[in-house]
Homo-oligomer: A and B are copies of this chain.
């Protein structure tokens, strides 16, 4: 691997340049991807390792970023445990038979990586052995976020069914958490075994819980997951969109990197005692603004980052489909050049 700046920053080592990658860097903002989507569904792409490797590698080549992130959906492992799912364009993952009772949870099958999602690990092997000159980040969904899709059956605004099950049927909830933890751990280990150089946990929707709920219903399972993932010996990142109010919990985890959205600044995170490498936190809305505004905001973030210990430049949420690829290319160059000053 030629370029290790992402890994070095994650492990708090000095780097010559500031590492940068973009959440959802592979996807609808790229004309090549939109063209593929005319022929293939997201599932089609994920199930074909050669195609999926192309999609994963494309932004590295196009944008010059310092890390690739495996292209898949956080619900990709669901069928492996007996939860059929399909992605509805413009909506998200749909599960026709949601998980809502003890029997539903008991019926879940154990996740067997090479039986359940062999294509995922094959994609990783292709990328890491032959192709990439940057680290490949493997990823998994966080347990609350995965459970919310399983319980609601579709993307939700208020997570009412999820929270109601969590609060009113804690036995069912904790058994589901245990099952999802096992799936997450096995999947993550298999991704690293196949060649992923780092792992990111997207607990995208857990910011809908308050600290008290997080401590009671999520923290124990996260500790279990992180404890097991230590054996992978790769940097671990946690990202929770809208999770600023949970930072006092996140900072206690034995992980390497905490991803921030734009609601919490690097300096505020440090003031709250976060010791981990920070990742973030440009509001992706700036990517559809004029270059002068994007440059100004990026300069502000990079300056703040440099004053606050180890960090990786990224967005505070995924790239929007409307973003021009040339903007991301220019932004990468700007970040890389900035760091040399």
**Smallest beta-carbon distance A320→chain B, Å:** 5
Complexed CA–CA distance, A212 and B289 (Å): 17
- Asked if A210 is at the interface of the complex by the 8 Å CB criterion, the answer is yes
Chain-B contact segment, one of A129-137, A155-163, A229-237: A155-163
Chain B residues contacting A245 (CB-CB under 8 Å) are 244-245, 263-264
> Are A167's CB and B263's CB within 8 A?
no
Query: Mostly helix, strand, loop or mixed at chain A's interface?
Result: helix
Chain B residues contacting A265 (CB-CB under 8 Å) are 210-212
- Asked if A227 is at the interface of the complex by the 8 Å CB criterion, the answer is no
Chain B CB within 10 Å — which of A159, A263, A288 has the most? A263
Decide: A210 near B164, CB < 8 A? Known: A245-B244, A264-B245: no
> Are A285's CB and B322's CB within 8 A?
no
Complexed CA–CA distance, A27 and B299 (Å): 47
Chain B residues contacting A320 (CB-CB under 8 Å) are 158, 160
- Asked if A259 is at the interface of the complex by the 8 Å CB criterion, the answer is no
> Are A288's CB and B210's CB within 8 A?
no
Chain B residues contacting A159 (CB-CB under 8 Å) are 285
Contact of A286 among B167, B207, B211, B263 (CB under 8 A): B167
**Smallest beta-carbon distance A319→chain B, Å:** 11
